[in-house]
């Protein structure tokens, strides 16, 4: 994993000696009206609504699931600095349906937001939080009541759902001196439908094993952004081509790209990831209808 010296090289050398591609105007990123079912979708239906970045509302087997929730304006320890949203959340916070389950993949600020955790704990006290090892104290201090920690490959049953924490190539840290103190993971959900949420990850050899254990998946929610410069980011985030390769290993039917178009985190242009992902999808000879790029707020409905 890249250390502090590599971070300095990126920020002080790479960024000052190499031109970065120009970002588009934020207006190109559409925000549409969600079509999720409130209070709950029928058990026979699967809906996925992209809130933005890695935040999604999943309605699965009659259960409302939220992933890596962040409704704050910035992905940062302070709301006066740090990466700012390019697009408002695709679902207004007060429009969320009653939440049953909240999945948290790791503790980075663009995935675990203190203010959002507090708001969710107050507004949805009935929700159970499923987290990787070490994150329970963080959400409990902010009001969460039902909290379950999982190690990689460990499983938990919630209502009709079988939830498994899956390996990811990443790291954890929220400050100086806590690197690696808590775990990071993806999640596999299985009921009438099967969903894979990759969390935050570089490409790794366990995707095939995940597919063998918990697939075939109806939908795989795959991160495609925050990948440049590659010499630094390849240990942390997949690029679009790797995301398509991982999708194939997972034995999934539909890929929804996430982790792009919301926060400016790295050096590629904000609109580049889906262009490269579509090209990789086509080059792999995959069915055109299997790649479902969502606008912020858009809902994918599968019967």
- The span from the CA of 162 to the CA of 174, in Å, is 30
Q: What was the pLDDT predicted at 13?
A: 65
Classified by CATH at the fold level, domain 30-302 comes out as Metallo-beta-lactamase; Chain A (3.60.15)
| SS3 (DSSP) at 249 | helix
Q: What are phi and psi of 74, to 5 degrees?
A: -125, 145
Whether 3 has a pLDDT exceeding 90, the answer reads no
Q: What was the pLDDT predicted at 78?
A: 82
Whether 279 has a pLDDT exceeding 80, the answer reads yes
| Per-residue DSSP letter, 295 | P
The helix (run of H) or strand (run of E) holding residue 240 is: helix 240-250
Sheet containing strand 128-132, edge to edge, reads 146-150, 128-132, 101-103, 63-67, 55-60, 46-52, 299-302
- The span from the CA of 225 to the CA of 278, in Å, is 13
Give the chain's count of helices (H) and strands (E). Answer: 8, 13
Q: Which residue reads 């990948």 in tokens?
A: 227
Indicate the pLDDT class of residue 303, thresholds 50, 70 and 90: confident
pLDDT, tens digit (0-9, with 9 covering 90-100), for 149-158? 999 999 999 9
- The span from the CA of 177 to the CA of 36, in Å, is 41
Domain ranges of the chain: 30-302
- The span from the CA of 292 to the CA of 303, in Å, is 15
| SS3 (DSSP) at 2 | coil
Higher pLDDT: 20 or 67? It is: 67
Q: What does R_g of the chain's alpha carbons equal in angstroms? A: 18
Closest CA relative to residue 139, chosen from 164, 156, 162, 116:
116
Cβ of 71: how many Cβ atoms within 10 Å? 19
- The span from the CA of 111 to the CA of 199, in Å, is 9
- The span from the CA of 281 to the CA of 256, in Å, is 12
Closest CA relative to residue 163, chosen from 153, 152, 155:
155
pLDDT, tens digit (0-9, with 9 covering 90-100), for 158-167? 999 999 999 9
**pLDDT-above-90 percentage for the chain:** 86
- The span from the CA of 25 to the CA of 226, in Å, is 18
Q: What was the pLDDT predicted at 101?
A: 98
């Amino acid at each position: 994993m890249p250390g502090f010296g590599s971070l300095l090289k990126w920020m002080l050398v790479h960024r000052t000696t190499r031109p970065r591609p120009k970002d588009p105007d934020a207006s190109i990123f559409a925000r549409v009206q969600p079509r999720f079912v409130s209070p709950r979708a029928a058990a026979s239906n699967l809906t996925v609504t992209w809130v933005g970045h890695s935040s999604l509302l999943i309605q699965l087997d009659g259960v409302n699931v939220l992933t890596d929730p962040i409704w704050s304006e910035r992905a940062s320890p302070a709301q006066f600095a740090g990466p700012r949203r390019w697009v408002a959340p695709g679902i207004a916070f007060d429009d969320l349906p009653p939440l049953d389950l909240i999945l948290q993949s790791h503790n980075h600020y663009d995935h675990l937001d203190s203010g959002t955790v507090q708001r969710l704990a107050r507004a949805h006290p009935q929700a159970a939080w499923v987290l990787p090892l070490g994150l329970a104290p963080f959400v409990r201090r902010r009001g969460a009541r039902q909290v379950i920690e999982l190690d990689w490959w460990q499983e938990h049953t919630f209502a009709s759902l079988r939830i498994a924490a899956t390996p990811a190539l990443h790291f954890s840290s929220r400050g100086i001196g806590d690197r690696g103190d808590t775990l990071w993971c993806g999640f596999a959900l299985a009921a009438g439908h099967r969903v894979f949420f990759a969390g935050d990850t570089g490409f790794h050899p366990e995707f095939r094993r995940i597919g063998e254990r918990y697939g075939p998946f109806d939908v795989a929610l795959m991160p495609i952004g925050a990948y440049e410069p590659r010499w630094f980011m390849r240990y942390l985030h997949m690029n679009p081509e790797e995301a398509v390769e991982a999708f194939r290993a997972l034995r999934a039917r539909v890929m929804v790209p996430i982790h792009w178009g919301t926060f400016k985190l790295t050096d590629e242009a904000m609109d580049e990831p889906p262009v490269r992902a579509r090209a990789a999808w086509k080059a792999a000879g995959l069915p055109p209808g299997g790649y479902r790029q969502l606008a912020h707020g858009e809902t994918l409905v599968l019967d």
